[in-house]
């Protein structure tokens, strides 16, 4: 008897039920999308037929491989010895992966507009990630093996870890007890020289005998804390800038509480970025300063510069934009959340006051990569009773920040939903209609090739909006790892064009670009130096008496406030 025959028949029956069940699920999803109105979900017939055929072939092959003990599973969730030594567990993992591939193929076969299909795909990805057999003690062969070997101690420890994480309100990604802001992260020496209710301004101690006459101001995102730019001495962009001879200042945003729940986008531009620029000018005595904005900090900086340009002011000699959105046409996976109903709900919920909680934001970003940033730790922490290893980046990632509701709701509507910043005069900030074409200062624009928050196409799009001379560089890796790439590590690579051309899209730019090994930081440092002016003796004290004296040592108290 052919062992594949009964399996093929059963697989065919299963596939029929599978497709029917999936269709019903999609119909339910569509009803939710349309407020309960029923609608038929259609599949592309040729794609559906191909999926069914491929499923039957793969299911038969899986059955044969299982009988012969030759299952090959290329997924690190099932790569442990427990899975390999347990045929039943290995087969369940292989069957799960087959069904997951089929589900994703069915999601791609749905006949719908691109956004609806992306949402369905995102939902299926979340579902499949959650339903992996590795996430359940009853099916996780590695966790069972460890429980036997430790005589149940791993399970007891896992329960302790679960209770601990429930108390702290989030899944532990690292051993947070080993880190302390100001002790072993955010340790570059400096002082707070100004503060208002929104931010503290940090000035860092020079590491060179002379500094450039134009000081350097960094504007990090207010959606998380500034010390991503100052994790450790050997990977600190802040320390690197100081070591290059720049008199360096950094905005440290306050973690908003109810007292700031009414703050708006205009407040952060006027009383945040523009105030910081003015203070740096007063402390240094320089007519112009160099600026850098990272992620949302870059969007805030572009708005501040555009407001100043509309007023005929030019306090910045240059601007660096790291993984920054100005053109919101392509917002990557985050686009699945944004539509009129979602934005309107947020406006009703917190548009006139309230807080967007930091933990909610952190959870959203974690579930953009559910296997790596959620279920990996559920398995390790709770099923295996492990303590995650110390990792400064993941400690920072867990140190969440709130956002004022009016700020958040306005940002969603005007930028993410309506993309008004690309329209000359399309958005009014601080009483001025913004036109990015009027920003004629030199700009250095950086994008990360594998960024899922600011896609490389979106980062590059800024080059088509800004009106002055521009230099674009593309780095390897993602939103954070691509930016935090010190030269000494000799990791990754970056791409540049020597002809300086900036064609309309990134693909055309890449045809003339050359890959260079290692960090992009030295290229940026050389560019920034060309706009920094002459060198002068380094200051002996922080700030400038009598108005701007050192208030407290860096990193200050604002960054230590918890959400």
Could you tell me if 87 and 151 are in contact, meaning their C-beta atoms sit under 8 angstroms apart? no
**Residues that are catalytic:** 295
User: Distance between alpha carbon 246 and the CA centroid of its chain, in Å?
Assistant: 28
H helical segments located in 311-455: 340-350, 358-366, 370, 376-378, 392-398, 405-411
* φ and ψ at residue 353, rounded to 5 degrees: 150, 150
Residue at token pair 């296997």: 371
> Residue 497 is encoded by which pair of tokens?
């064009």
CA–CA dist 357, 403 (Å, integer)? 7
Cα dihedral 388, 123, 420, 469 sign: positive
> Residue 528 is encoded by which pair of tokens?
């920034």
CA–CA dist 485, 479 (Å, integer)? 11
Q: How far is CA 332 from CA 130, 157, 451, in A?
A: 22, 38, 9
| Spatial CA neighbour of 386 closest among 76, 164, 167 | 164
Burial label, 148 (beta-carbon count in 10 A; 0-12, 13-18, 19+): exposed
For the chain, the straight-line distance linking the first and the last C-alpha, in angstroms and rounded, comes to 65
Helix, strand, coil shares, percent, the chain, to 5: 50, 15, 35
**Radius of gyration (C-alpha) of the chain in whole angstroms:** 26
Could you tell me if 538 and 209 are in contact, meaning their C-beta atoms sit under 8 angstroms apart? yes
CA–CA dist 79, 230 (Å, integer)? 35
* Contact residues for 291 (Cβ-Cβ < 8 A; gap 6+): 216, 217, 218, 219, 277, 301, 305, 316, 318, 319, 320
Q: How far is CA 4 from CA 8, 59, 70, 455, in A?
A: 6, 9, 15, 45
Using DSSP's 3-state secondary structure scheme, residue 5 falls into helix
Could you tell me if 379 and 140 are in contact, meaning their C-beta atoms sit under 8 angstroms apart? yes
Using DSSP's 3-state secondary structure scheme, residue 521 falls into helix
Around Cβ 88, how many Cβ atoms within 10 Å? 10
Count how many Cα atoms sit within 13 Å of the Cα of residue 3 in the half-sphere of its side chain. 9
- DSSP string of 140-172? -HHHHHHHHHTTTHHHHHHHHHHHHHHHHTS--
CA–CA dist 347, 354 (Å, integer)? 10
CA–CA dist 405, 261 (Å, integer)? 6
What is the longest distance spanned by two Cα atoms in the chain? 94
């Amino acid at each position: 008897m052919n062992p594949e025959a009964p399996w093929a028949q059963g697989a065919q029956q299963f596939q029929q039920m599978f497709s029917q069940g999936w269709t019903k699920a999609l119909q339910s999803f569509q009803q939710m999308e349309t407020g309960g109105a029923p609608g038929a979900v259609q599949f592309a017939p040729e794609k559906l037929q191909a999926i069914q055929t491929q499923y039957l072939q793969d299911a038969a092959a899986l059955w044969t491989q299982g009988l012969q003990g030759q299952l090959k599973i290329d997924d690190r969730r099932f790569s442990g010895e427990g899975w390999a030594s347990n045929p039943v567990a290995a087969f369940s993992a292989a069957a799960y992966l087959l069904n997951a591939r089929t589900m994703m193929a069915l999601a791609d076969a749905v006949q719908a507009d691109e956004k609806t299909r992306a949402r369905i795909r995102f939902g299926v990805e979340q579902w499949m990630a959650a339903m992996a057999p590795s996430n359940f003690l009853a099916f996780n062969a590695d966790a069972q093996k460890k429980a036997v070997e430790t005589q149940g101690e791993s399970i007891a420890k896992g329960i302790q870890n679960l209770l601990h994480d429930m108390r702290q309100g989030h899944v532990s990604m690292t051993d947070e007890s080993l880190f302390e802001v100001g002790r072993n992260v955010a340790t570059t020496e400096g002082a707070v020289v100004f503060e208002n209710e929104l931010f503290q301004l940090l000035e860092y101690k020079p590491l060179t005998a002379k500094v450039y006459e134009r000081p350097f101001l960094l504007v990090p995102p207010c959606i998380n804390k500034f010390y991503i730019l100052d994790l450790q001495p050997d990977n600190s962009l802040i320390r690197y800038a100081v070591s290059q001879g720049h008199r360096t200042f950094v905005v440290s945003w306050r973690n908003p509480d109810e007292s700031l729940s009414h703050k708006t986008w205009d407040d952060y531009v006027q009383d945040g970025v523009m105030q910081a620029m003015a203070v740096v000018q007063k402390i240094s005595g320089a007519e112009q300063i160099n600026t850098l904005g990272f992620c949302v900090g870059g969007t805030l900086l572009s708005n501040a510069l555009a407001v100043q340009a509309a007023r005929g002011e030019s306090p910045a000699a240059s601007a660096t934009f790291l993984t920054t959105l100005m053109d919101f046409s392509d917002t990557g996976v985050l686009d699945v959340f944004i539509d009129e109903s979602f934005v309107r709900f947020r406006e009703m919920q917190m548009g006139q006051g309230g807080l967007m909680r930091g933990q909610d934001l952190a959870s959203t970003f974690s579930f953009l990569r559910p296997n790596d940033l959620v279920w990996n730790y559920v398995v390790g922490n709770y099923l295996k009773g492990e303590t995650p290893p110390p990792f400064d980046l993941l400690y920072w990632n867990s140190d969440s920040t709130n956002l004022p509701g009016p700020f958040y709701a306005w940002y969603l509507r005007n930028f993410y939903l309506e993309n008004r910043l690309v329209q000359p005069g399309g958005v009014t900030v601080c009483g001025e209609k913004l036109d990015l074409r009027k920003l004629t200062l030199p700009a250095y624009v950086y994008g990360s090739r594998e960024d899922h928050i600011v896609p490389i196409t979106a980062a590059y799009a800024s080059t088509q909006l800004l009106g002055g001379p521009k230099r674009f560089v593309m780095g390897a890796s993602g939103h954070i790892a691509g930016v935090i790439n010190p030269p000494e590590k000799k990791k990754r690579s970056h791409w540049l064009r020597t002809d300086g051309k900036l064609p309309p899209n990134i693909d055309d730019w890449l045809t003339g670009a050359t890959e260079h090994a290692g960090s992009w930081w030295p290229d940026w440092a050389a560019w920034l130096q060309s706009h920094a002016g002459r060198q002068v003796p380094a200051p002996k004290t922080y700030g400038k008496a009598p108005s701007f004296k050192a208030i407290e040592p860096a990193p200050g108290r604002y960054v230590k406030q918890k959400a």
